[in-house]
Chain A
Amino acid sequence: MAVQKKKQPRRSNTIKLKFDTSWTYAPAPESRSVAQIAPEYDLFINGTWQKPSSGEYFDTINPADEKVLSRVAAANEKDVDKAVSAARQAYDKVWRRMPAKERAKYIFRIARMIQEKARELAVIESLDGGKPIRESRDFDVPAAANHFFYYAGWADKLEYAFPNRQCSPLGVAGQIIPWNFPLLMAAWKIAPALATGNTVVLKPAETTPLTALKLAAILQEADLPPGVVNILTGAGATGAAIVNHPDINKIAFTGSTEVGKLIQRAIAGTPKKATLELGGKAANIIFEDAPIDQAVEGVINGIFFNQGHVCCAGSRLYVQESVAAEVIRKLKHRIETLIVGDPLDKNTDIGAINSRQQLDTIHRYLAIGKKEGAEMYESSCALPRKGFFCRPTIFTNVAQSNRIAQEEIFGPVLAILTFRTDDEVIEKANNTPYGLSAGVWTDKGSKIFNMTKRLRAGVVWANTFNKFDPTSPFGGYKESGYGREGGLHGLLPYLSLR
């Protein structure tokens, strides 16, 4: 007798997160006293602090209260030229000639000193950039130290990395980094460049220069030979001067796809090599067999980590129709519990948007989303009166062609779309000019590997999201850029192989 299998109702947790009690978080602010910020910073060229030749300085502010933290020098073409020639001298006379194991020791030193000064760096990172102290303390700063530590070890081991090839450095690397992970991006750029024997001219973003300047002080303290790393502050014009300088051999850029394309055009016809880490619009895909609560947490982390200022943020959520209602309900509940506010408060989940300009961009996209017919839902939390803040926001009823599903917003805004079949979600997820990262949530391992094979993205997270490690290569497909940072593959962009 055939037994009719009784369909089991899907077991799911329907308890609403209950935070509407009288119980509230007391403020737990990290002290600013450990952060020593000078009123003014010059340019770090050839191991010394040098005045900008234009005499111009610009303010860097705390996006959480709009107060000025410090004034930093604006480097122009002349300063870039000085820095490049210092880097060239250091390359020719010191750095490329130094035994690799001694080079390694310098980089290990830098890693150790970042660890020693971790607390100060974390506080400054949160002050200058607006990210929650919990993230700068537990992620940005340790990850930066670890990156130096990892690449330090490679310096005298390059002969093993690329079999049957002789490695040699490229020369002077011009490196331009973004404002979302200021110190960590500096580490991602400088560590592999130094380990492979190159020298560096680095420009931090104009809104977040302070931790890079603190790093310059660490390099001095570590006795790094003058000129091996030069740090120039400035805006787009400084970056352009670096890109266009004829004595630079390599450009490494992390930032927008738009600027990445400009760089590729600018260096066309020159022997300069480039690594580009650009924008993204990652698909985070939840299948019906996924552990839903875990997936919801992953989606929250995927889009709200660092206020959504993450190029690999999971900004498009694809959820299988059968579980869509449940996932959306849980997401709405969950964003109500996120604490938005003072970046220095250890309870804060979402800090300040990095700049007024970025806040305006996000607001523009919120208006576009509503105009396009998507349904907007934002947390009901209050926002601080001063500073640049944005509520965590989700859009439902989003169409694949909507701009909020196609364009990078770079803020705490999630677009939710649904799908029925594997085929459909693969087509939709890949239907973007970007290809930096993707996420898959399912209990079925064989489905994970099917998806990782078919998703056209440089990093695919399965049942996790926004995970980084110095040993793990990171970088994009398609218009998310090229080249990899991290791991063995992160050495290649700084080497010439014969």
Chain B
Amino acid sequence: MATSSKNITTAPSNGTGTTPARLEVLKTYKIYIGGQFPRTESGRYYIPVNAAGRQLANVCLSSRKDFREAVVAARAAFGGWSSRAAFNRGQILYRMAEMLEGRKTQFIEELLLQDSNRRAAEKEVNLAIDRLIYYAGWTDKYQQLFSAVNPVASSHFNFSAPEPMGVVAIIAPQDTSLLGLVSVMAPVIAGGNTCVLLGAEKKPLCAVTFAEVLNSSDLPGGVVNILTGQPDELAPWMADHMDVNAVIYCGQDTALQQLLRERSAGNLKRITIHDVTDWEENEGQSPYFIMDTQEIKTTWHPVENIAGAGGGY
């Protein structure tokens, strides 16, 4: 990268090795809370380094307090988001796909900086776009698969339908910068939840840039909040927080899995673990992932039984 910054760089290489005529403006990688891009309140940062030894950026090392603020934002957004028409949520997810498609090259370049090759990077971005469209299609359909009208024996109309759990804390897959994050986030918000998402620690660039996609997609602020930092540090606070309804952990650290399960007992958070899911394959998408953060509500209503006419004709 031929800029004045030898180490920390975030923009694509021009590949020529010559000095450009103007100095490049570097992007500050900030976190995303309540539709705003603050820096971490802690003032801390870390510098992820790629395989070639390049320092990627000064990335926010989010704190417990950042997480708590993000939960407040997510909770505040939950009522509005969950009561949006399912169709409208679908339109917004589709809009995200449109926005991501338009910024494709930016993401490919970031993925290249984060140890991907061009072919893999293009594939990852395309898959991420298609995945958003996939869940855009589910927002008004999964209810039709997972609901039931229950033929109870008494004279009642009885039906069960899924409803979102509420605020979901997510530790995104650590091995991909974009696809994993999109794959775990989309089913959560498609189902009407709001979330706080911790991006990949070592590959955080796309998480932050994806927040910019969200910010221009008609997605209300607070529905998705994105932090960068260390899973080990934030996981206990996620599990402890009494206003978080569910936690999704993507990773194979069994000690962390156990910690999440134990400490989530405080308010019986629902825990979902993705430890072997291959996000590039078909197994990386499913309406059952939406159901991971849904409750089932059953409603009873009496049916009057007074007229003799049976409607036989």
> Once the chains bind, are A449 and B130 in contact (CB under 8 Å)?
no
Interface string of B262-281 (1 = CB under 8 A from A): 00000000000000000000
> Once the chains bind, are B133 and A149 in contact (CB under 8 Å)?
no
**Contact for B311 among A105, A150, A161, A430, CB less than 8 A:** A430
In whole angstroms, what is the CA distance A450 to B138 when docked? 33
Question: Would you give the shortest CB distance from B125 to chain A, in whole angstroms?
Answer: 15
Q: Which residues of A contact B141 (CB under 8 A)?
A: 150, 153-154, 157, 471, 488
Query: Of all chain A residues, which has the CB nearest B288?
Result: A160
> Once the chains bind, are A471 and B313 in contact (CB under 8 Å)?
no
Q: Which residues of A contact B308 (CB under 8 A)?
A: 423
**Which residues of chain B in 72-111 are interfacial with respect to chain A, using CB atoms and an 8 Å cutoff?**
86-87, 90-91, 94
Q: Which residues of A contact B145 (CB under 8 A)?
A: 160-161, 488
Query: Of all chain A residues, which has the CB nearest B311?
Result: A454
Q: Which residues of B contact A443 (CB under 8 A)?
A: none
Q: Which residues of A contact B140 (CB under 8 A)?
A: 150, 153, 470-471
Indicate whether A331 reaches chain B with its CB closer than 8 angstroms.
Answer: no
**Contact for B303 among A146, A152, A446, CB less than 8 A:** A446
> Once the chains bind, are A450 and B305 in contact (CB under 8 Å)?
yes
Q: Which residues of A contact B51 (CB under 8 A)?
A: none
> Once the chains bind, are B306 and A153 in contact (CB under 8 Å)?
no
Known: A449-B301, A453-B303, A487-B144. A153 touches B311 (CB 8 A): no
Indicate whether A456 reaches chain B with its CB closer than 8 angstroms.
Answer: yes
Question: Would you give the shortest CB distance from A440 to chain B, in whole angstroms?
Answer: 11
Known: A104-B137, A149-B90, A426-B309. A444 touches B144 (CB 8 A): no
> Once the chains bind, are B311 and A149 in contact (CB under 8 Å)?
no
> Once the chains bind, are B137 and A156 in contact (CB under 8 Å)?
yes
In whole angstroms, what is the CA distance A276 to B145 when docked? 26
Question: Would you give the shortest CB distance from A196 to chain B, in whole angstroms?
Answer: 14
**Contact for B309 among A101, A422, A447, A488, CB less than 8 A:** A422
Interface size on A, as a range, is 35 or more
Indicate whether B283 reaches chain A with its CB closer than 8 angstroms.
Answer: no
Q: Which residues of A contact B287 (CB under 8 A)?
A: 157, 160
Indicate whether A455 reaches chain B with its CB closer than 8 angstroms.
Answer: yes
**Contact for B307 among A101, A150, A421, A487, CB less than 8 A:** A421
> Once the chains bind, are B307 and A153 in contact (CB under 8 Å)?
no
**Which residues of chain A in 84-118 are interfacial with respect to chain B, using CB atoms and an 8 Å cutoff?**
101, 104-105, 108
**Contact for B91 among A149, A431, A446, CB less than 8 A:** A149
Indicate whether B134 reaches chain A with its CB closer than 8 angstroms.
Answer: yes
In whole angstroms, what is the CA distance A151 to B94 when docked? 14
Query: Of all chain A residues, which has the CB nearest B95?
Result: A112
Identify the A interface with B (CB < 8 A). 101, 104-105, 108, 146, 149-150, 152-157, 160-161, 421-424, 426-427, 430-431, 444-447, 449-450, 453-456, 470-471, 487-488
- 18 extra A-B contacts, CB within 8 A, seeds A427-B313, A430-B309, A431-B313: A101-B130, A104-B133, A108-B133, A156-B134, A157-B287, A161-B145, A421-B307, A422-B306, A422-B307, A422-B309, A423-B307, A426-B307, A426-B311, A449-B301, A450-B307, A456-B311, A456-B313, A471-B87
Q: Can you sample 22 A-B contacts with CB below 8 Å? A: A104-B133, A108-B94, A108-B133, A146-B87, A152-B137, A153-B90, A153-B138, A153-B141, A155-B137, A156-B134, A156-B137, A421-B307, A426-B307, A427-B309, A430-B312, A446-B303, A446-B304, A450-B304, A454-B307, A456-B311, A470-B140, A488-B144
Identify the B interface with A (CB < 8 A). 86-87, 90-91, 94, 130, 133-134, 136-138, 140-141, 144-145, 157, 287, 301-313
